[in-house]
Chains A and B, each alone.
Chain A
Amino acid sequence: MTLYIEPYGSCYCCVIYHVTRCRFFSNSSSILATEMILSKYPWLVQNEILQNMEPSELLLLSLVSKNMKKLIKSCQKKRLESVNTIVYSTDVNNYLCAYILRESHKFMHKDILMRFEEFQETETPDFQLNVSGKKIDFRLFTRERNKELWLPENFHPYPVACVQKSDKESILESVHNYFLDFFAHSVKYYWKAKEFEDGPYHIPKQLLNSYPKKDVF
């Protein structure tokens, strides 16, 4: 449907009312599609919007559609190429975490890309995505959901892959294959084995095959 807004004689309240009314009487997906379509922005604006997103948000957005992934890879080529190191490690709760390690002002920063949590079959995920040909359930780690935890001021929500015990290996393989495709070939992957003493984790085959042992420390 076409959304028409009177250019004059309208205040913001009228506009919002008009949009709300249209949404109420029409198919919700069509009205939203007419509201803001990223692909219709000029290329430089698309680039600016993507530039303002965190790596985990770009990663998640790339999984929405193949063309979105192409757009991100072309718009953000320089940024993706600037990623030198991705580390698999455990966080304070002993969950496997994949993060970008970057140096800024002589300090090392971690940009979390994804976390892997064991998931009970009775729990409900937020959404499901096809990652390198494998359907994986996801939840979002947000501030609202983790009020009991202290989270830094610059915290950004990130996806949590819901891992079932029987499927742990194939999920990790699929996610790692996706990273290999999404980020530049020059990225070095590290597996911080010392932190996995409590529960042995499967190391992705690609990680073992592609890199010398010194990178798996």
Chain B
Amino acid sequence: MAPKKNSAKRPQPSTPKPSAPARIVKVQSSDGHILQADVRALLLSSTLAATIKGYDDENKPLEKLEVNNVVGFTLKLVLEWCEKHKEDDPAIAQAEKDKKNIFIPSWDRHFLTKLPMGNLFDLITAAYHLDITGLINYGCKTVANSAKGKSTEEMRELFGIPEPWEQPSTSTATWDD
């Protein structure tokens, strides 16, 4: 039986390739916590990939990567996501970015929706600093989805928009009405 035509609509994770043994490096968060991660997972971050490449080009031993703008708890979440997606084709995330409707796979949906909003905020901000396209895509889509079917009052609470009477009186206020 011929495969369905629309089976290629949603990007599928690439099949695991037989590869060399994992190369593990230490990653240090801004608050001094040290975690371990597979280099293939870290390569999902363009920022870290550039640093790793710099070490490799100079044949320097890579002992520890310092991530100065992400705290330990958030870094642990970032690494968990990257570990799950380390086999993915980077082109998938790039292609998803340009699509109007991003499809969030079930593992990612579960991973992101179980987080309290504050942690999701930190995770997306970390993904932005580390330039992890896939995590930004899914994180932003999750935030946008959380606004669905909400009244304006609920949106105000969700996005931390103060009530008009709570606005600071200065002209430099961020959300003054």
B-binding residues in A (CB < 8 A): 3, 5-8, 10, 12, 15-16, 19, 29, 32-42, 44-45, 48-53, 57, 60-61, 63-68, 126-127, 129, 138, 140, 142-144, 156-157
Contact = CB atoms under 8 A, between A and B. Distances in A.
B152 interface: yes
Contact of B128 (A42, A53, A64): A42
15 contacts: A7-B73, A7-B76, A29-B157, A35-B121, A35-B160, A36-B159, A39-B161, A40-B160, A49-B143, A52-B140, A57-B144, A57-B148, A60-B155, A66-B177, A142-B149
Contacts of A53: 144, 147
A78 to B, nearest CB: 13
B102 A52 contact: yes
Contact of A127 (B140, B147, B153): B153
B119 A45 contact: no
B15 interface: no
A66 to B, nearest CB: 5
A67 B175 contact: yes
Contacts of A10: 73
B151 interface: yes
B31 interface: yes
B117 A36 contact: yes
A72 B175 CA distance: 13
A23 to B, nearest CB: 10
Bin chain B's interface residue count: 35 or more
Contacts of B102: 52
A44 B133 CA distance: 12
A45 B125 contact: yes
Given A10-B73, A15-B119, A16-B116, A45 B158 contact: no
A41 B151 contact: no
B72 A32 contact: no
B128 A35 contact: no
Contacts of A66: 176-177
A8 B159 contact: no
B33 interface: yes
A19 B161 contact: no
B162 interface: yes
A197 B141 CA distance: 42
B52 interface: no
A65 B177 contact: yes
A8 B151 contact: no
Given A15-B119, A45-B128, A57-B147, A38 B161 contact: yes
A172 B118 CA distance: 39
A52 B118 contact: no
B92 interface: no
B67 interface: no
A38 B159 CA distance: 5
A42 B117 contact: no
B94 to A, nearest CB: 14
B144 A41 contact: no
Contact of B33 (A5, A8, A38): A8
A58 to B, nearest CB: 10
A7 B128 CA distance: 20
A75 to B, nearest CB: 12
B175 A65 contact: yes
Contact of B124 (A39, A45, A57, A61): A45
